[in-house]
Structure 1
């Protein structure tokens, strides 16, 4: 009794394979199968191309034999007419078949070859609608989505590297300062009380900054993964904004910052928002204005109005403004206009990115316009709640 032993092909290899050899094995197997299917297709296509001249020669031979029969001229002419008609019809049929079936299939096959090589920008061309046009359209749509997915993956990888680099830099700077001042205090235990207090204050500020950066990173990661919970409720915009602006007016007065708030609403409207998250977005925008504004003479103006189905809240400052070439990047994470962090306010570089994500997650928008030396204006657009009627009650979110 003989036992049949299957010997693996050369591309499967022998024995145990390392983790790096497995992809190479499958690549070789794919290339082998690809060459096999390609040769099969080309063989059928070649048979189809050679069939026409062979059939034509065969039919001419039949015609010759029919006409060579002396007593059957009429029958020969009749069969000759049938064969000629059949040849003409067959010729047009085969030409149509080649144009509408085989050539589109060859175009798709070549496109699949390019996709297998990693070229997702390839398109299968077709001049006019044919029997396989829907398949070609689906193939082109597939390659377009694959190309977009590849670009998104590359962009995601680039953002991931930039994020890691920015986090490393932003954490290293304050931690280095903390380490240096603590080391100084340990080496000079008899330092004067004034210097000790100064060092401790610097350490404390850097710890506060690190905590704020970590909090912003956690919040932004939840927003990015769409795992941040929103507690929506019907909010009356007038009392909501009045309470919010009263809080900022008090804070600005303590810092000698001018603060002005005006309402240009004909009637009160309702919003379906998470008041806590909206307040968080406001805080980030105003903190950004304070961070980049002048040390003296800073003024912030807030205007509440309505634009169609949206409530518009403009937050304008009289700071140095944002250069036009930097406006498209102002909402990018860790983007800073200055190369160095302002000494008076430790910004994390995530405030505006978080503000935009918080508002867009609630169906809102955040845009910015600016004029150099005249300040910047951030515009918040929030959708108005329709048909709220008298069922909704005024809500004052707990910040």
Structure 2
């Protein structure tokens, strides 16, 4: 064990005092030769002096250090002086130094985190204002044109009303998705978990998105023929939303005349993993960490051209985490992407 520094200081201080005292004693004994003192008494005296001075010095040092260190503990919110009373005073100088260093590192980390969050907050506010502003101005423009007399022309009025309606639909979609994310983040969304066939659900989503995929001539396939159903546990509506959002993304950013493959594989003892793989643009490494942020877009201009609320992946992440499951992303720029998520597998009875 490491010897406390104050013990070393007290030891040598006591040693010097005892040594000095012994010299004085020998001088006195030599000067007054008529005084006879037994060697054992001299040795006993020196031991008593050494122990006494050692204890006094050690006590005074501890009290001195304690008073000053406690002031530091009281002045630093991270350190609790009540904990300090439970530990040896003399060994606490090094502990305090380490704790203060940890405190400083923690504060620096918090400052970096807050700075990063502030940047994200500003970016989020800018994004949401842009997302809402675009359809609002669109709707306002068409309505003002109609109000200025275009409503009297049936052909123009019908076309403008349809376009205004699309802008309103976009606004409703954004507000609905924001409301869903708020519920997911506040754990206010009740999941209706039940058993269902994930293969059948994926096929239903394929059928739902068939026309959308045909517009870009993208084929939606399973990686193989699944002869038997694979039963999982989850909220079927929410998992359908996850599959829809991920497949819509693969269609939006997939290669024209490309292919999107979906596979269902064993993951762990009681888990399966659903993988959605495309051969599209892929995602650069610097974007992957922020893919699931609200309104974060890898390609701002093209993403807005493709439509959508910009909340799809964020919703996907929240739904999967609400199921206490995991979501993963792998991607190579210009080669394609793979999004995957786990689900609880229904145990065979």
Alignment TM-score, normalising by the size of structure 1 = 0.65
Corresponding residue number in structure 1 for 2:138:
177
- Displacement, 1:311? 1.0
Cα distance in 2 for residues equivalent to 1:362 and 1:138: 40
Correspondent of 2:307 among 328, 331, 346: 346
Q: How big is the shift at 1:213?
A: 0.9
- What residue in structure 1 maps to residue 199 of structure 2? 241
Aligned to 2:3: none
Distance 1:150 1:220 in 2: 27
- Displacement of 1:246: 2.9
In structure 2, C-alpha distance between the alignment counterparts of 1:142 and 1:156, rounded to whole Å: 22
Change over 3 Å in CA distance of 1:155–1:344 after alignment to 2: closer
Answer yes or no: is 1:301 the counterpart of 2:264.
no
- Cα shift readout 1:282-320 (whole Å, capped 9, x = no counterpart): 1111121222235x5243221112133331211122322
Counterpart CA distance in 2 for 1:374 and 1:308 is 28
Q: 1:254 to 1:356 in 2, by over 3 A?
A: closer
1:110/1:204 CA distance change after superposition, 3 Å: same
* 1:249/1:259 contact within 8 Å kept: no
Is the Cα–Cα contact under 8 Å of residues 274 and 341 in structure 2 kept in the other structure? yes
CA distance in 2, matches of 1:163, 1:72: 94
CA deviation after TM superposition for structure 1 residue 273, in Å: 2.0
Residues 103-150 of structure 1: per-residue CA shift (max 9 Å, x gap): 68856754765x46x99xxxx9xxxx9754897599569836666666
CA distance in 2, matches of 1:140, 1:265: 60
Paired residue secondary structure (1:329): coil
Partners in 2 of 1:98 and 1:358 — Cα distance?
63
Q: List gaps (5 residues or longer) in structure 1.
A: 1-44, 391-399
Which of 24, 30, 37 pairs up with 1:74?
37
> What's the counterpart of residue 84 of structure 1?
46
CA drift at 1:73: 3.7
Q: 1:227–1:91: structure 2 CA closer, same or farther, 3 Å change rule?
A: farther
Distance 1:72 1:270 in 2: 104
5 Å-filtered alignment, 1:25-40, equals none
* Residue in 2 that maps onto 1:252: 210
Matched residues in 2 for 1:288 and 1:266: separation? 27
Give the drift of 1:352: 0.8
C-alpha distance 93-244 of structure 1, shift in aligned 2 (>3 A) = same
Aligned residues: 322
Structure 2 SS opposite 1:340: helix
Which residue number corresponds to residue 294 of structure 2? 333
1:217 has 2:178 as partner: yes
Change (3 A) 1:134 1:308: farther
Aligned-pair distance for 1:330? 1.8
How much does 1:164 deviate? 2.4
Question: Deviation at 1:336?
Answer: 0.7
Distance in 2 (CA, whole Å) between partners of 1:223 and 1:332 is 14
8 Å CA contact 1:265, 1:304 repeated in 2 = no
Q: 1:371 to 1:153 in 2, by over 3 A?
A: closer
Cα RMSD (Å): 4.3
Equivalent residue of 2:169, what SS? helix
The alignment partner of 1:74 has SS state of coil
How far the C-alpha of 1:360 sits from its partner, in A, is 2.3
Q: Is the 8 A contact 1:341 1:347 kept in 2?
A: no
Query: What per-residue deviation string (whole Å, max 9, x for no partner) do you get for residues 345-382 of structure 1?
Result: 31222111221221123232222222333322212222
Query: TM-score, normalized by length of structure 2?
Result: 0.73
Would you say the 8 A contact 1:304–1:314 is kept in 2?
yes
Report the alpha carbon displacement of residue 88 of structure 1 after superposing the two structures with TM. Answer: 2.9
